[in-house]
Amino acid sequence: MSDPVALLQKNTSSSPTLLRSNTAFEQLFRLSSPQRPLLLTSLPEDFLDLLSQCTSDSVAPVWCVLAQDGKCQHFKLRAALADPEPDYVLLLMQDISEQENTAQLLKQQNAQLKQRLTDIEQLKNRIREQSIRDPLTNLYNRRFLNEFMERELALARRNQKPLAVVMLDLDHFKQLNDQFGHQTGDKVIEMVAKHLLRQSRRTDVLFRYGGEEFLVILPNTNATQALHLAENWRLHVEQAQIFAKHQAITITLSAGISVYPEQGTTAFNLIQAADEALYQAKASGRNQVVMS
């Protein structure tokens, strides 16, 4: 049979209360079984009497003795419990309130640690996102292009779907910078990026390739569809109104297109083919779209 065990709560203004007890304790003090699952039930009077009879080396009250160092204290008492004849009982008591406080503190610290780990993970994600974004346009940057394109090409191969690459370049951008200044040039680049995003599909992924160049990856898009999209971008940029130094200026762009797998099966080959098509568009008078 197991030893009687009970968990008590010390009260400053009243008798201690019984928090939990095992079957042996209930039988010893004649507690009825329905009381067992109840919390904060009053201690039986005979147990309180036993506490009052405790003798120890210290003359301090029982609870003061227990609170001295948290160690287990031994008390000897003589009382009649479930047996008809009185007998000596060795009572072992220990103040575990400090352990409870420590457990609560550890629980709080654990929750704080989890929150810090969550914050760190979110910060890492923000830093990662910033590292692959162009600060001026918030488009993806060239650094992220190879990683993303390899992933998209793998999907295209697996699903046997086309993938188009469009290279776009603003026409006469150096002249615009020389005439109106770099601040106006940045404003134009921002405007073009917004127009490209506004006229793109949700699946299209845009990159600022460098300077006044943009690159767009079009998953699951054939040559005809890519040509239609690029022409739409070209038209909207040409029709946009931009003012620099109180003067309206017109911006045009040229574009070159390549399609997987016809013009290449690697990221390098597709970008090179689109760049060559862009060069042809420039050489043919600008403000136009050329297929590779």
Average pLDDT for runs of 10 along the chain of length 292: 71 65 73 45 52 47 49 57 56 67 82 86 85 94 93 96 98 93 92 94 96 97 97 95 84 97 96 98 97 94
8 Å CB contact between 283 and 188 = no
Distance CA 244, CA 191 (A): 13
Concerning whether 212 is annotated as a catalytic residue, the answer is yes
8 Å CB contact between 211 and 154 = no
- Domain borders along the chain are 6-95, 103-131, 140-291
State which amino acid sits at residue 291.
Answer: M
- Please pick, among 121, 212, 262, 276, the residue that the annotation labels catalytic: 212
8 Å CB contact between 195 and 233 = yes
8 Å CB contact between 226 and 259 = yes
CATH for 140-291 is 3.30.70.270
Of 67, 18, 72, the residue nearest 8 (C-alpha): 18
Q: What is the model's pTM?
A: 0.64
Residues in a beta bridge with 20: 7
